[in-house]
Amino acid sequence: MPRTFYLLLIVQFISTIADNAFLIVAIARVIELSSADWVTPVLKIGFTVFYVLLAPFVGPLADAIPKGRVMILANAFKVGAVMLLLYGVDPVLSLLFGGLGAAVYAPAKYGLMTELLPPKDLVRANGFFESTTVCAVIFGTVLGGVLISPIMPHIDLPADYSHFDSTPTQLVAAMLCLVGLNVLALVFNFGVTDSGKRYPAHSFHPVEVILRFFKENAVLWRDPLGGISMSVTTLLWGVGATLQLIVLRWANETLGLSLAQGAYLQGVTAFGAIAGAVLASRYVSLHQAINVLPLGIVMGMLFPVMLAVQSVLMAVLLLILLGTLAGFFIVPMNALLQHRGCSLLTAGRSIAVQGFNENAGMLVMLAVYAVATAVQLSLHTLIWSFAVMVIGTMAALVLSREKLLKAPGANPY
């Protein structure tokens, strides 16, 4: 693996830690403000919405400018987002600004990885990347729990700096830590070198960009393997984002854990995901990626088991198992989708199309969860609904697998 790939891993690690800790701190701030329960899923929606709205533009941007520079710009936005929260801006607006940076960042980092490596190394590289990301999710989620816990020192900002006068906060130290993490990621970004890959210039006229984007979107969906891998990753991203919030609610309602403790519990899922990612990168090659589809059905069947769990130990074991299956499942699917996308489009544009679909799925799922929370739908009904959806969708994809494998263009090489 080239040196830039490992530097990319470091930047991804730090940035993902900061993103996940930011969400926990923002949720704690929402609680401080005594906001309605439905505001919590709206936080995630705010962080995700620019992934969808800017998808037609961020791909061409990542292809037109060296991707390391795009990543510097994106991390600067993330620093600004935490500074807004520190100044006293509403948490939803702060996360919205952070999501703007994340939306710009995604096609650059994944596109750079695709440019740096040959197709035969993509599954292994995705294993590294997924393991790094999941480790960062663990540390970020746990760090978020620590940052909102009583062990953090109380810091008062100058009266003329912030707008906290109406609703005081105990989270200033946490926010300052988040600023430091994002600045550190920004500094490491300066060491990310250019891959040297260049693409033909295209118009940035908004109408032309949007029309071209949706044509590219159709190209990837119509490809036999591109379409099936896109279906899987879109479903799992949507379900995963919503389950992140469901686990916090489950930890509180069923196990009696606080937000900080629930964040720690949420983080243990990542240990299993690391193991699954490592196993996938070792034992699943690119042309075998489609064979892991039945694991999606198994994952869906495990969701309702949460309702029978009454102890923290059993909850930890279940979440580790779910994480292992998810890691083993998503790594080959991501690698397959990236390779098909780069073959049919370009690195930046294919990642933008992937991000658009996956984050649109997240927005839909989070919006449904926000409505379900607003109407006070029971946790039991929510979990069973997600289980039925995952099992049904994955069963349909498994049944169509043989037909897809025989379709023209089904060879990932």
pLDDT digits (tens, 9 = 90+) for 80-89: 999 988 888 8
pLDDT band at 24 (very low <50, low <70, confident <90, very high): confident
| Residue 184 pLDDT > 90 | yes
Question: Is residue 195 packed enough to be buried (19+ CB in 10 Å), middle (13-18) or exposed (0-12)?
Answer: buried
Max distance between CA atoms of the chain, in angstroms, equals 68
State residue 178's pLDDT score. 92
Mean pLDDT: which of 72-81, 117-126, 148-157, 274-283 is highest?
72-81
Residues across the chain:
413
pLDDT at 183: 93
As a whole number, the mean pLDDT across the chain is 80
- For the chain, what is the domain count? 1
Rounded CA separation 345/349 (Å): 6
Helix axes of 347-374 and 39-53: crossing angle, nearest 10 degrees: 160
Per-residue confidence (pLDDT) for residue 401, from 0 to 100: 67
More confident residue, 198 or 261: 261
Q: What is the mean predicted confidence (pLDDT) over 183-202?
A: 74
Residue 200 placed within a domain: no
Given a cut of 70, is residue 411 above it in pLDDT?
Answer: no
Give the whole-angstrom CA distance, residue 339 versus residue 344: 9
Region 254-266: mean pLDDT is 77
- Residue 332 pLDDT > 70, yes or no? yes
pLDDT interval class at 157 (50, 70, 90): low
Structure tokens at 94: 């702060």
End-to-end CA distance of the chain: give it in Å, rounded: 21
pLDDT greater at residue 379 or residue 290? 379
More confident residue, 318 or 108: 318
| Least confident range of 137-146, 213-222, 226-235, 348-357 | 348-357
199 in a structural domain = no
Q: Among the listed ranges 12-26, 109-123, 248-262, which one has the minimum average pLDDT value?
A: 109-123
pLDDT at 162 over 60: no
Query: Which residue do the tokens 């969708």 mark?
Result: 393
In whole angstroms, what is the distance from residue 342 CA to residue 348 CA? 8
* Mean pLDDT computed over 64-84: 85
Q: What is the mean pLDDT of residues 220-242?
A: 82
Give me the sign of the Cα torsion angle 172, 174, 178, 184. Answer: positive
Q: How far is CA 364 from CA 144, 271, 390, in A?
A: 26, 27, 15
Angle at 353 between CA 349 and CA 358, to 5 degrees: 145
In a domain, 198, yes or no: no
pLDDT score at 413: 47
pLDDT of 214: 84
Domain membership flag for residue 355: yes
Among 10-24, 133-147, 255-269, which stretch is predicted with the lowest mean pLDDT? 255-269
Average pLDDT over residues 218-234: 83
- Region of 376 (left: φ > 0; alpha: ψ -120 to 50; beta: rest) is left
Q: Considering only 210-219, 286-295, 357-366, which range has the smallest mean pLDDT?
A: 286-295
The whole-number pLDDT of residue 79 equals 92
Q: State phi, psi for 111 to the nearest 5 degrees.
A: -65, -40
What pLDDT shows up at residue 405? Answer: 59
- Check pLDDT > 60 for residue 165: no
Cα–chain center distance at 28: 20
Q: Using the structure block, give the residue that is written with the tokens 């991000």.
A: 355
Q: Give Rg (Cα) of the chain.
A: 21
Give a yes or no: residue 413 inside a domain: no
Domain of residue 237, CATH code: 1.20.1250.20
pLDDT (mean) for 144-155: 82
Host domain of residue 216: 3-190+205-406
What pLDDT shows up at residue 180?
92
In a domain, 165, yes or no: yes
